Structure 1
Amino acid sequence: MKPIQYGSLFSGVGAFEEALQDLGIPYDLAFFCEVDKYATKAYCQAHDIEPERNLGDITQVDLSSLPKKLDLITYGFPCQDISVAGKGKGFEHNGEQTRSGLFYNAMDVIEATDPSIAIAENVKNLVSKKFTEEFGIVLGSLEMAGYENHWKVLNSCDYGIPQNRQRVFIVSLKGGGEPRK
């Protein structure tokens, strides 16, 4: 199987990468993007990746330098401002972008790299009544960029993980999943 061309945003220690490995899906990592220096170090060690592949602060990424037509981008933008335990400020507060508002920067990277598939993960509260506007922004932004979205709330305990952790996953397919010509 030919490796997929892959980009990872808000990478943490690489949970999506672990999933790809567990599923036996080979990938070539074009870049990862993580601002936390400890998570970056752990990511590089866990996945045998050079730190130079890290884009760093997503707000400072040179979009023109990114590869085009990736197969997959994964992202889990910060949830602090949409989480039940968080601040509840959404994507903007007092005219300023919140940490959760870094979704907009992820969208910039998605538009610049034009992946066939983009997969997002975030807290269940994103699909709550309180954050209807933010969830609409996420889906609408992806639709305007040419993606068909499919989403579902999943609970980790239903997949052999000894933890009750509900998350919304959004799978966005470029052009509705039609093969590229």
Structure 2
Amino acid sequence: MKLNIGTVFSGIGAFEQALEKMNLAYNVIFACDNDKYVKQSYFANYDISEENWYNDIIQLNGSKYKNKIDLFVGGSPCQSFSSIGFQKGLDDDRGLLIFEFIRLVNRLGT
């Protein structure tokens, strides 16, 4: 059996690499990241269709994937909270993206 996964803030697929290292079979149902070079790398390494890639989490309608995902993962941008960043928290647009992750958790859930 393969896990059906959805990822946001997908980067170049660290989570997917972890699954591979654990020899766990998976299908990427959707992925999302806003960097065009990240997208190129992701498409070079993982089996995903253009229609299931999202450049903007705000545009991702989780209802489309309801009951199709076994595991949903994402690490929202940390720059807003990190001691390396400016620590603006929720006053930084990137900090607000955690709410988009929560929105998708609610849409994907049963």
Fold shared per TM-score above 0.5: yes
2:94 to 84, 99, 104: 99
User: Which residue matches 1:74?
Assistant: 73
Report which of the two structures shows the higher radius of gyration computed on alpha carbons.
1
Aligned position for 1:57: 56
Task: Report the aligned-residue RMSD.
Answer: 1.7
Q: In the alignment, is the contact (CA less than 8 A) between 1:69 and 1:114 conserved in 2?
A: no
Runs of 4+ that moved beyond 4 A: none
* CA offsets 1:97-121 (integer angstroms, 9 cap, x no match): 5202201001111111128xxxxxx
Give 1 or 2: higher helix fraction.
Answer: 2
Aligned residues: 110
Matched, 1:108 2:109: no
Question: After superposition, what is the alpha-carbon deviation per residue over 1:10-37, rounded to whole angstroms, capped at 9, x for unaligned?
Answer: 0010000000011011111110011111
Which consecutive unaligned segments of at least 5 residues does structure 1 have?
116-181
Q: Is the 8 A contact 2:81 2:88 kept in 1?
A: yes
Larger relative CO (CA 8 A, sep 6+): 1 or 2?
Answer: 2
Identity %: 34
TM-score (norm 2): 0.90
Pairing 1:98-137 to 2, within 5 Å after superposition:
98-114=93-109
Gaps of 5+ in 2: none
1:25 & 1:39 partners in 2: Cα distance? 23
Give the TM-score normalised by the residue count of structure 1: 0.56
| Counterpart Cα distance in 1 of 2:68 and 2:62 | 13
